[in-house]
Structure 1
Amino acid sequence: MPARFLVVFDADSTLLRNEVIELIADEAGRGAEVAAATEAAMRGEVDFAASLRSRVATLEGVPVASFARVLARVEPTPGARELIDAIHARGGVAAVVSGGFHEILDTVAPDLGVDVWRANRLSTTADALTGLVEGAIVDAAGKAAALREWAAAHGVPLCRTIAIGDGANDLQMMAVAGLGIAFNAKPAVRAQADLVIEAVDLRQVIPLLP
């Protein structure tokens, strides 16, 4: 049975209030440095994949056990649960594609009721981070590809898809979607989105659902 529509969220600073890589960097005492690099990447000033690799390199040696502390600090954006409940009530699919990490999303996404998600995966050895990313990086093109893939898998035409994001690496999936929403977004994203939501409350999206 095809879904009625598909909503694809970015994770960090969209579905979640935090930038998770900054929380992990705090565990290495590099939070401020990584936050500045993340901000530049989200504004589109640097190549996302190169920036992510350099930021993850600063995480080398962070114990995997510290993810429990990171998870305890992750906060869903206000209205996240209500919006996902509304998507399901109207026969839609809720998805997340993130330049962040499976190590966090694999706990947070199902707790919020997300149906499908994709993110980067951190390399580990001897119970600590190696400072490397495993496999291909989920970048702007990867996000757009995920939206197309999930739409096809659920029988949803692209005109009935919604993409919600805040950073430059969300622009390609927002362009592919039937409706691209800038949420809590950087100026470059606001300028190119179909719609801008000012309030940091995902319940604002509910009236826009098909």
Structure 2
Amino acid sequence: MSASTEFAPGLTLQNLATPQKLSDYKLIAFDMDSTLITIECIDEIADVTGKKAEVAAITEAAMRGEITDYKDSLRQRMALLQGVPMASIERVLQERLTLTPGAKTLVDAAHAAGLKVLLVSGGFTYFADHVKSLLGIDFVRANQFEVKDGQLTGGLIDQSWGDICDGEEKRSTVLGLASLMGIEPEQVIAVGDGSNDLPMMRAVGLSVAFHAKPRVRAEAKVAINTGGLDRLLEVLG
């Protein structure tokens, strides 16, 4: 299809040849915050400490693409969270983190069709590892916040690949894993909602915007605007 087409209510396709099957692909990569889960973890950490307005404003600007340096935006937000106790972060995980409707259905369907599943996030391993265990995800890449004396220092820990998983790191992770698996980028699906997901979405065979910012919806081959993540199965039967 050369133009945007309403495939079903709340489900838009553009430049996508149909029909396709999930088993045509070998890897599916998901963003985490506001994609696999319903919250933005860093905003919720800020909320329990009374700083949500300041942090959420930076998050929203970054996701819309108004702040073009994701690394800088994350460092700004982390600095505002210096001194937050780990007990508050545990509260967010236990009380506020909720899987997006359809997430488990889609991940299970992907596994059943022979795909590997990657969670690649500009968020934190503290939450990503929990989501990995809930959904049986195969691979995770995310940021690791620094903790000292039971509190956030406001910094991030260097990992073998770097310190911050931004849009370019998401792209590099997806393409690197595809190479290790011996598959082509065209055999990969990438699902996200924000501007920092665009680099990986542009690099793969099928890009999926989930309840996404307008800029992301405009570029994606599939846009899920209503309902859960499992609506992708309406396109990839």
**Is structure 2 residue 163 aligned with structure 1 residue 142?**
no
> Quick one: which amino acid aligns to residue 71 of structure 2?
A
**C-alpha deviation, 1:155, in angstroms:** 2.4
User: Cα deviations across residues 1-32 of structure 1 (Å, max 9, x unaligned)?
Assistant: xx951000000011111000011112321012
The aligned residue for residue 54 of structure 1 is 76
Return the offset for 1:149.
1.4
- Structure 1 portions without partners, runs of 5+: none
Asked if the contact 2:25–2:189 (Cα under 8 Å) also holds between the matched residues in 1, the reply is no
Q: Kindly report which structure 2 residues correspond to 1:7-156, keeping only aligned pairs within 5 A, or say none.
A: 7-46=28-67, 47-72=69-94, 73-135=96-158, 136-156=163-183
User: Could you list the per-position Cα deviations for residues 111-146 of structure 1 after superposition, in whole angstroms to 9, with x for gaps in the alignment?
Assistant: 111111110110111110001122221001000001
Identity %: 47
Cα distance change of structure 1 residues 40 and 182 upon mapping to structure 2, 3 Å threshold:
same
CA-based RMSD of the aligned residues comes to 1.5
Task: Specify the structure having the higher radius of gyration (Cα).
Answer: 2
**How many equivalent residue pairs?**
208
Residue type at the aligned position of 1:23: E
> In structure 1, how many angstroms separate the alpha carbons of the residues matched to 2:89 and 2:227?
26
What is the CA distance between 1:207 and its match in structure 2? 3.8
TM-score when normalising by structure 1: 0.95
Amino acid at match of 1:68: E
Equivalents in 2 of 1:208, 1:152: separation in Å? 26
Offset of 1:209 from its aligned partner? 4.1
Unaligned 5+ segments in structure 2 are 1-23
Q: SS state of the match for residue 124, structure 1? A: strand
Preserved contact between residue 168 and residue 200 of structure 2 (Cα < 8 Å) = yes
Verify the 8 A CA contact 2:64 2:215 in the aligned structure 1. yes
Partner residue in 2 for 1:181: 208
Aligned partners of 1:6 and 1:24: how far apart in 2? 31
Shift of 1:174: 0.2
Q: 1:157 aligns with which of 184, 189, 197?
A: 184
SS in 2 for 1:185: coil
Q: One-letter code of the match for 1:5?
A: K
SS at match of 1:94: strand
Aligned residue for 2:144, secondary structure, equals strand
Letter in 2 for 1:143: K
1:160 to partner: Cα distance = 0.8
Partners of 2:195 and 2:215 within 8 A in 1: yes
Aligned to 2:190, the other structure's residue is in SS state strand
Q: Is the 8 A contact 1:27 1:62 kept in 2?
A: no
| 8 Å Cα contact 2:25/2:188 also seen in 1 | no
Alpha carbons of 1:190 and 1:4: their partners in 2 closer, same or farther (altered >3 Å)? closer
Tell me whether 41-50 or 58-67 shows the greater mean CA deviation.
Answer: 58-67
User: 2:64–2:195: 8 Å Cα contact kept in structure 1?
Assistant: yes
Q: Who is 1:167 aligned against?
A: 194
